[in-house]
Structure 1
Amino acid sequence: MIYQSLVTKIPRCVKPKEFGTVTSTQLHMFSDASNEGYGAAAYIRLSDNSGRISTALLMGKSRVCPVKATTIPQLELTAAVVSINLAQHILKELQITVDQTFYHTDSTTVLHYIFSYRKRFPIFVANTVKVIKDFSENTQWRYVQSKENPADIASRGFTSQQILNSNIWFDGPYFLRGPEELWKNDMPQGVVELEGSTSFAVHPEDEEGNAVDKFLKYYSSWHRLRMAVAVYHHLFFILKSKRQARLNGSITAEELDAAGKAVIRYIQKKTFSKEVTLLQKSEGSRGRGLCSSSSIYKLDPFIDPKDRLLRVNGRLSKAEISAGEKHPMILPRKSHITTLIIRYTHEKLAHAGRNHVMAKLRELYWIIRTNASVRQVLQDVSFAEK
């Protein structure tokens, strides 16, 4: 009886029969968690040329809470990751073009974590937030009140009869069928901490509000960061030369390479400031004058006059290999940029093993304690994918 009722009440087509030409297609994801479970629900929102709006349930997913005691904020973060994964699956399988994707949650803690850049979070929070930022932008996340969140049904559980009588589950919240300018998006204010977690460590440079550091930490992809820096370099050149030019939208490989080196040069000056100063004063004496306690003392470093980058010196300078392999760029172990480069190399190699990633990295970079750095990043990636 339940199966027959579902067949008669749920239309197979998400587009109504009397609907006109579709002018806008949006995907709206809702996530929620409770002590019993967590889940997500996906809705498609269509607008036609007559201004009519239609919403329909595309897919829902729910899971039971783990036996091990877990806090509600942690479950809310996990539900947000489920929402991200569900959206990626739908966008891949859906045979129509989606113009915009929005993510809704009633957890102010989740939104605070996503929008925050001043905190160094615990490992679990850092891993989940990384997944969220890798597949979504801050502007896509919105706050929804609990009573308007259909994912509450997925997290708390409904009987079959309650689901059949629930309009919000099949059609989504009422505000989706109204004009976008009337949508409420009350962003959380203040700091919301994760219950039951240890205190957060605050970086002094973040408190000072270093604009460059905030810009670099905003990006979770090495390719996207280089693209952004390349665009800024191009615009700066136009303003400096006072030319009436426009950015044509294409960034060359040379501009990407220059942007990446500019970022690495900044990180080197910030991390190895004493070493850079001493080497500049010694006018290229290649490591002489450095303190033996320096983390790069044994690398016999020097500053390349061509690109002003801190590089490794050694016997490979006589080898018949590329200049990058002879004198790789030095990178600190604990740096957001180092992590991005390791992830980028790992993805470019189709998620190859640690030794393969290390070998590829050393064609251009020399990371302090490479083995430990690569192992940690790959472990975080593996944990986030589970």
Structure 2
Amino acid sequence: MNNNTKTARLVTGKAKVAPLKPISIPRLELQAAVLGSRLAESVKRESDYKITKSYYWSDSKTVLAWIRSDPRTFKSFVAHRLAEIESTTTPADWRWVPSADNVADDATKGIPVNFSSTHRWFTGPSFILDDPATWPCEKRTAAPLPPSGEERIIKQVHVCVDHVNNDYLPKVERFSKYKRLVRAAATVLLSAEAFKAKLLKRKVNTEISPDHIRLAELLLIKRSQNISFADDIKTIEAGQRPPKRSPFHKLAVKLDRSGILYLDSRVKEEYNLPVLHAKEEFTRLLVHHTHAVFNHGNHQTVMNELRQRYHIIGLRSILRYISSDSRKQPGIKRFGACARGGDCK
């Protein structure tokens, strides 16, 4: 045989009956494209010939437009099948064929007339042996195809969050215990983390970790500072010195990258203490909590413990108020009344 001679022969064919469940024509055409790509892959795998180039034909402009698009922009049915087609073919391999020249229709539209060995089912369409430049070409239009109903609906949700006051955190007024407030804030962070993991199809964490607790405390401190020292923080951010009426006029303070106000220590950064105001509700809960942890002990003990972690403006006055308030509550025993080596009951 002359090397310049071209021939076309049927190697294999496959057809499927449409399902009883109603399905749209574009979906059926897409199923046919998947069937074709699978069949071609099977031929390549089983054939002894070296196949250098493959072409895939479809008379559905909708399916061809889908194949040239990103599968993620469509609903699951279309997206999964486009991903399979994309794994074995490239969009450049897919070409359009007029319905009148579509040989595949001979297998699904009844027995053709004069069905013999010379029929196009066995030799391919008439143009297949011509130069590829003369093959049918799809007429592209500038206007996009009308929506097929398979496009994924993307809803844009605009969420307005007050990052200054961290309003996504639980309100302090709703809590009477410091630990409950912190754990509620940590639960909010965990929920946001779990929601993000679910969107990214990753493993969802359902337990609050110490990192969640630490981050929740920092965010609550930041919100408390923005409530108590809003004007001073703006002044410090602008690089100016706080006015004389400000509690920071004689204090060395600085803002870190997260926007939390710290007492500037010249020793080490780990000794920098976040600044709080005693009149703010979060600080009151914190002082109440520390006072209770040390069994409502003397002022000096509680103050020493708090000053190791925070710089609280007006601490002594609020501590006196909390101490006197605890005396009025029935059932609270003083620190000195506890049995040595035992717990207060």
Pairwise TM-score range, normalised by the shorter structure:
0.3 to 0.5
TM-score (norm 2): 0.45
Point out the structure with the larger strand share: 1
* TM-score normalised by length of structure 1: 0.40
